[in-house]
Chain A
């Protein structure tokens, strides 16, 4: 008779897809214990029929009711999760913090979903009101309705450069019936995601020139990093938000630096990375300048 094997540390013996599913289950139990509303999104939380590819993801993703984010992060930190990337350091949308746990690996905590950033609390409420349940790790987990899942997958596809049509577009848009696409457009309107959906479905031209469209245009094209930050600058609302974008555009993400170095970054590493990033921004400027000269 076999015995209970030794406790697994750092997830070494646990397949990645198992670890991600258990991470969903773990954070669900934690959310329940502290009265936090969250929806499990992407990866194993998605209905298999809506997945356009086999990619299972390397982390668990949850969308948290914005008013509950601070409480949830405090609970996570009290249960062994450590923040790797803060909300402001991860992406052009300031949407997610990335945390790590020795048992469960990586977790993306979304305080909003990119494309639904006009009124994140209202968007969450719409998705939450229509939630359904999916068992992850044999724990009942709230997930968006199938239509809501499709919308999130399409918004994610719109900001993922694939060099072609993203594989999630087929099952969630192209292969949907006209009636389903009409319902998706309605859901996008209710969640403030009309422009993002248009970006995913190749209809961004309808919104050309708008502040929101600027950011999506960067993902739709092959713009460089400077273009992403410029678009982020344009889409930021108000002087304070614009100043924040300017400061963070040159910040160094310690998590990604740690991944690249394979060890904890030291002060000198961070300084070098900052210089490199400054150089990357400068080169992007030079290339743009050259393009302008050629034009």
Chain B
């Protein structure tokens, strides 16, 4: 699937002190997303295309999409692989 990204129905998450703890429920384990990882998480929460997520990250980081595109794409792939995000 290559459709828009959405948060998985089985995802649960808590943020504390700017660190995101996210897990596929009910089994886990929780993953720790901090720094730029937490930034991408928040950029992905509204859903949308990868380009939209990249754009949100770039805007939040105050840089151009070209600079972060590859890293964001790899990170989003990782979140899809573990089941926290799905491509609808």
**Interface residues, chain A, with chain B CB atoms under 8 Å away:** 1-5, 7-9, 11, 13-15, 17-19, 21-22, 25-30, 33, 79-80, 101-104, 137-139
Asked if B31 contacts A8 (CB within 8 A), the reply is yes
Asked if B29 contacts A5 (CB within 8 A), the reply is no
Asked if A4 contacts B29 (CB within 8 A), the reply is no
- Complex CA gap A209/B11 in Å reads 52
Q: How many of B's residues come within 8 Å of A, CB to CB?
A: 30
12 further A-B pairs in the complex, CB-CB below 8 A; given A9-B29, A29-B26, A33-B26: A1-B75, A2-B75, A3-B78, A4-B82, A7-B31, A18-B30, A25-B12, A27-B26, A29-B12, A29-B25, A80-B27, A104-B28
Q: Interface of chain B, helix or strand or loop or mixed?
A: mixed
Please name all residues of chain A whose beta carbon is closer than 8 Å to the beta carbon of B27 when the two chains form the complex.
Answer: 26, 79-80, 103
Please name all residues of chain B whose beta carbon is closer than 8 Å to the beta carbon of A138 when the two chains form the complex.
Answer: 11-14
**Proximity bits, B34-78, A CB within 8 Å = 1, else 0:** 111100100000000000000000000000000010011011001
Asked if B31 contacts A26 (CB within 8 A), the reply is no
Q: Is B6 an interface residue (CB 8 A)?
A: no
- How far apart are B4's CB and chain A's nearest CB, in angstroms? 19
- Complex CA gap A139/B32 in Å reads 18
- How far apart are A82's CB and chain B's nearest CB, in angstroms? 14
Known: A1-B36, A4-B82. A18 touches B29 (CB 8 A): no
Contact of B14 among A2, A11, A21, A29 (CB under 8 A): A21
Contact of B68 among A1, A19, A104 (CB under 8 A): A1
Known: A4-B33, A4-B75, A4-B82. A26 touches B14 (CB 8 A): no
Please name all residues of chain A whose beta carbon is closer than 8 Å to the beta carbon of B10 when the two chains form the complex.
Answer: 29
Asked if B34 contacts A5 (CB within 8 A), the reply is yes
Interface centre among B26, B40, B72 (most CB of A within 10 A): B26
Question: 7 nearest interchain CB pairs?
Answer: A1-B71, A103-B28, A137-B12, A25-B12, A30-B26, A29-B25, A26-B26
Please name all residues of chain A whose beta carbon is closer than 8 Å to the beta carbon of B14 when the two chains form the complex.
Answer: 18, 21-22, 137-138
Interface centre among B27, B28, B72, B75 (most CB of A within 10 A): B28
Contact of B29 among A2, A7, A33, A139 (CB under 8 A): A7
